[in-house]
Structure 1
């Protein structure tokens, strides 16, 4: 069984195999404007459903990248020292420079073991947080595929902030995925016009048809001004796509959901 609690934005508490895993910690209140570099910025428009002291102990933090506040804000950063292990990009690990932080590259796998918990294997998965040649601007990002014990199937694939580019499509055809955790929102910035920095609803449909997961959970699609696809449009598009509504699960923020 996998239990998920969506706390807002990309932040999800995953409970599986005895592990308590937090993705991209963001706990700042709404209203603040954050600068992402190169003339880009965004305002946080919604706060978290729960505060850090309400979620309990965290064994693992999966941090897709540390340099954008919509994936790691000030209060989220304050939570990291108390986590057992933090996994992020190698560049992020160097910046965070803490004993409990490990860098993970796409294609690399690390394993965690602890008494009373199933062995947890975590594979870094490819991300490109924008159009071709955008990495110098957007920076490196990583996704994560989680596998318990000696199972062949991936329990959860967290895509991270990425567009649907060739390495993601190729991996989607290879993985046997139980739950697909999709970062969406169709991120855009006025300074770069029509360029997109994350997946939209049509990309989500394409990815689900490639992966064919048991369930797909959309996150990171609202709560910030840089998301350009309205939530109503996202929901309507996914609900009307052939074969997709049966596997999409919308989480109510703050409510634990067994999947």
Structure 2
């Protein structure tokens, strides 16, 4: 059996798709676990498996799920991983979908995790500002981002958010962000909003980094699925063109970046 990866004092590991492991202050968090092999889910097609397997992160203390509605943020193996975790934090609607053990946090609601760490849910919008809303008033579906605070560091994980306005509100609430984990593959689905972006594009990710004042930016959710239209090359060009390439973390998937 695979042993869990050694813990880091402060580390970020991109697994693939939206999945990122974060070690901080003795707590291991995993965001939006997706551990299936390449799979055709119909509307969404996974074309690459994870860079590390689920067992390598099975000692996670907390799993953060931005939303449980879409397979590219919570696939079959990822759902099993999330439900097996000691704590599972998500938005209220996804908590109802996931059932017993899932804790739903409303926007700006906080909870303590581990010894001295705090997770706060923050607003996110999974599509354009003028996108048609569902019966509950959400664009595409209910999604949340998360802010993690521990050991003097503030980490912002956008989830599948396409709104720079909401990113600015996070900056206003928390001040400068030390580490930003941005979902930035410019996800598009032809049947949704005429194919307009459902998540940040590469250029909007570079703008988000500047709005946040983040000195360290990890970009996720840009590989592994067919519906991403901006990959690592586009991200690198966007950060270079903006003059902030030094902020972009270029550590390969499956390797720890030590913050």
Whether TM-score is above 0.5 comes out as yes
Question: Structure 2: how far apart are the matches of 1:202 and 1:237?
Answer: 5
5+ residue gaps, structure 2, are 1-8
Match of 1:123 in 2: 120
Closer/same/farther in 2, CA of residues 230 and 80 from structure 1, 3 Å limit? closer
Match of 1:228 in 2: 229
Shift of 1:10: 0.9
Shift of 1:172: 2.4
Match of 1:163 in 2: 162
Can you list the C-alpha shifts for 1:195-215, whole angstroms capped at 9, x where unaligned? Answer: 211111121121111111121
1:202 lines up with 2:210 in the alignment = no
Match of 1:191 in 2: 191
Match of 2:143 in 1: 141
Question: Structure 2: how far apart are the matches of 1:20 and 1:85?
Answer: 11
Contact 1:25-1:71 within 8 A present in 2 as well: yes
Which of the numbers 49, 52, 55 marks the counterpart of 1:50?
52
Question: Structure 1: how far apart are the matches of 2:69 and 2:195?
Answer: 23
Closer/same/farther in 2, CA of residues 165 and 241 from structure 1, 3 Å limit? closer
Shift of 1:241: 1.7
Can you list the C-alpha shifts for 1:54-92, whole angstroms capped at 9, x where unaligned? Answer: 224010001000111111000011112321100001011
Question: Structure 2: how far apart are the matches of 1:229 and 1:191?
Answer: 19
Question: Structure 2: how far apart are the matches of 1:93 and 1:43?
Answer: 25
Match of 2:3 in 1: none
Question: Structure 2: how far apart are the matches of 1:203 and 1:22?
Answer: 24
Closer/same/farther in 2, CA of residues 53 and 17 from structure 1, 3 Å limit? same
Closer/same/farther in 2, CA of residues 173 and 208 from structure 1, 3 Å limit? farther
Contact 1:164-1:207 within 8 A present in 2 as well: no
Shift of 1:105: 1.3
Q: Which runs of 4+ in 1 moved over 3 A?
A: none
Question: Structure 1: how far apart are the matches of 2:164 and 2:208?
Answer: 10
Question: Structure 2: how far apart are the matches of 1:75 and 1:50?
Answer: 13
Match of 2:181 in 1: 181
Alignment length (residue pairs): 244
Match of 2:5 in 1: none
Q: How does 1:211-226 map to 2 (within 5 A)?
A: 211-226=212-227
Question: Structure 2: how far apart are the matches of 1:22 and 1:224?
Answer: 19
Which of the numbers 30, 34, 40 marks the counterpart of 1:33?
40
Question: Structure 2: how far apart are the matches of 1:236 and 1:103?
Answer: 37
Local SS of the residue matching 2:182:
strand
5+ residue gaps, structure 1, are 36-40
Question: Structure 1: how far apart are the matches of 2:34 and 2:217?
Answer: 22
Shift of 1:174: 3.9
Can you list the C-alpha shifts for 1:3-27, whole angstroms capped at 9, x where unaligned? Answer: 1111111111111000011110000
Question: Structure 1: how far apart are the matches of 2:227 and 2:198?
Answer: 10
Shift of 1:187: 1.2
Question: Structure 2: how far apart are the matches of 1:81 and 1:10?
Answer: 17
